[in-house]
Chain A
Amino acid sequence: MPHDHSDHPHALLPPEPALRVKALETILTRKGLIDPAALDEIIDTYQNKIGPQNGARVVARAWSDPAFKAALLADADPVLADLGYYGRQGEHMVVVENTPQQHNMVVCTLCSCYPWPLLGIPPGWYKSDAYRARAVREPRKVLADFGVMLPAESAVRVWDSTAEVRYLVLPMRPARTEDMDEAALAALVSRDSMIGTALAHAPQKKSGASG
C-alpha cells in the first residue's frame, strides 16, 4: 500500500518549520522516545567530528602512496575501514579516479545520498532541485556554475547514487606538489573536489618562485 493520504498527519503540527521541529521534539521527549542529549551528540558529531577532512586525508594518502591508491580503487571498503572511515551512509564505498580523459561527478537524483563518513552532511546545493535535476543531463553546465571548465577531450561520468553504494571522487593531483607531504596535500582537497564539482586546489605559489 503506497499510503497516499490527503490528510497527512504532519499537517497537524505548526506550519512554520522551526516550530514544527520543536513541537515534534517536545512531544517525543516528553514520551521518553528521544533523549535531547543524544540529539546534541548527533549534531556535534556531524558539525565537529565527521566531515570532508576525512575524505581529504584519504585522497592525500592515495596521491602519496601508489599501493594504497591501487587498493582503494580496487576495493575501498576494507581500506577505509582500516582508517576508521566506516559508518552510517558509508557502508559500501566505491572510489572513482579522475584522469585527463575522464572526469567523475556524483549526484543523487532521487534524494540526497552522500558518503557521510568521508564528507559529512551534504551541502545545500547537493540537495537542491537544480543539482539533482541537471547534473545527469548537463554536467558541464553545472560545472560552469561552480566556475569549472573541462578540456574538450575530457568525458564526464556522472554517478547517480540510486542504491546504498556511495561514491567518492579521487581528484587529479595538482602540478607542482611533488615536495608536499600528506598533510599539505590534504589542504588542497576541497569537499567539492571529492563530489566532482571542483578540481583540487593548486598550491599557493611561493614568493620568488618562477612559476
Chain B
Amino acid sequence: MSRLHDMGGRFGDGAVVPDAPDAPVFDTDWHARALAVTLACGSLGKWNIDVSRHARERLSPKDYTRFSYYEKWISALADLLVENGVLTREDLMGQGENELHALATHVLATKALKAEAVAGVLAKGGPANRDSDIAARFAVGDAVVTRHPGGSALVNGGHTRLPGYAVGARGRVMLYHGAHVLPDSSAHGLGEAPEPLYAVAFKASELWSHPEHPDDEVILDLWQSYLLPDQEC
C-alpha cells in the first residue's frame, strides 16, 4: 500500500547538501516557470491542493524516482489537465491545433489568472479550517494511538497524510488546531469532510529502533479519524 513519496525514516539517501548563502530562489528559469504555471492553473478551479498533491504522489514509482522536484510538478499538472478535461491528449501531442481550435475560446479561459490578480490571489491563500459537526474526541495531553493498518481508509491506494513511519504508534496530543478539511476525502472528490486536527507528539523511541536521544520527539499533524484512544496509558 505504500508509495514512494512516503519516505520519512527511509535509509540510504545520503547526505543533505545545504545550498550556498547566495543561492538563487530558482536554480534555473524552467523551475520558476513550472511553479508559476502550476499555481496559475490552480485558478482554473478544476482541482484543489489535495488533488494536486495526490497527482504528484501517484506518478509511477519509476517516474517519481527519476524526476526532479519540478519535473514532478509539471508532469502531474499535465496529467491533471487531461484527466479533468481541460486539455486533450492530442493537445499535449501538439495535434489539437487546427485553425478552428486555435480561434475558439476555451470554456475556462475566463478563469485564467491575470497578472493584476496575482498579488490578491497569493495574499488570500486557501485556509483549510472549516466548521464541523464532528466534536473533538481528544484533549491536549490525551494518550492516542494511530490507526493500524495505515493508508487511506476511504480509497484503496488513495491519498492520506498519515506517514507510514507513524502507523500504529503511541503518542500524546500536544495541540488542537480546530477542524480542517480531510485530505483523504478532498483528494478524491468525496467532499471536504472537515474533522478535528491535532498535533501529536511521538517519542523518537516509539518510532525508531535506534533513536538518537532519549528525549527526542517527532510531532505530526493528524486528523481525528487517524487516531484512537490509547487504552494502555
- Are chains A and B native binding partners rather than an unrelated pairing? yes
Binding site for B on A (CB under 8 A): 1-4, 6, 8-10, 12-13, 17-18, 20-25, 27-28, 30-35, 37-43, 45-47, 50-51, 86-92, 94, 107, 109-112, 120-121, 123-125, 127-134, 136-142, 145-146, 155-165, 190, 192, 197
Q: Which of B54, B71, B218 has the most CB of A within 10 A?
A: B218
Give chain B interface residues in 198-215, CB to chain A under 8 Å: 199, 201, 207-208, 212-213, 215
| B33, A21: Cβ atoms closer than 8 Å | yes
| B93, A125: Cβ atoms closer than 8 Å | no
B70 to A, closest residue via Cβ: A17
Q: How far is the CB of B125 from chain A (nearest CB, A)?
A: 5
Interface residue from A8, A42, A142 paired with B59 (Cβ < 8 Å): A8
A9 to B158, CA, bound (A): 20
B156 to A, closest residue via Cβ: A2
The 5 closest A-B pairs by CB, nearest first: A109-B8, A32-B109, A155-B215, A163-B221, A10-B75
| B8, A146: Cβ atoms closer than 8 Å | no
| B115, A37: Cβ atoms closer than 8 Å | yes
Mark B157-170 against chain A: 1 for CB-CB distance below 8 A, else 0: 11001110100000
B39 within 8 A of A: yes
A91 to B123, CA, bound (A): 10
- Given A8-B75, A39-B37, A123-B23, verify A128-B16 contact (CB < 8 Å): yes
Q: How far is the CB of B228 from chain A (nearest CB, A)?
A: 17
In the complex, what residues of A have CB within 8 A of residue B36's CB?
A: 38-40, 42-43
Q: How far is the CB of B9 from chain A (nearest CB, A)?
A: 5
A27 to B41, CA, bound (A): 12
In the complex, what residues of A have CB within 8 A of residue B18's CB?
A: 125, 145-146, 192, 197
| B157, A2: Cβ atoms closer than 8 Å | yes
In the complex, what residues of B have CB within 8 A of residue A127's CB?
A: 69
A32 to B128, CA, bound (A): 29
| A12, B89: Cβ atoms closer than 8 Å | yes
In the complex, what residues of A have CB within 8 A of residue B158's CB?
A: 2
In the complex, what residues of A have CB within 8 A of residue B77's CB?
A: 24
Q: List 30 A-B contacts (CB under 8 A).
A: A2-B158, A3-B83, A8-B63, A13-B75, A18-B29, A20-B78, A21-B70, A21-B74, A24-B74, A24-B77, A33-B108, A34-B40, A35-B114, A38-B114, A39-B40, A42-B35, A42-B39, A45-B122, A51-B25, A88-B124, A92-B127, A110-B53, A128-B13, A136-B218, A138-B212, A156-B213, A156-B217, A162-B161, A164-B180, A197-B18
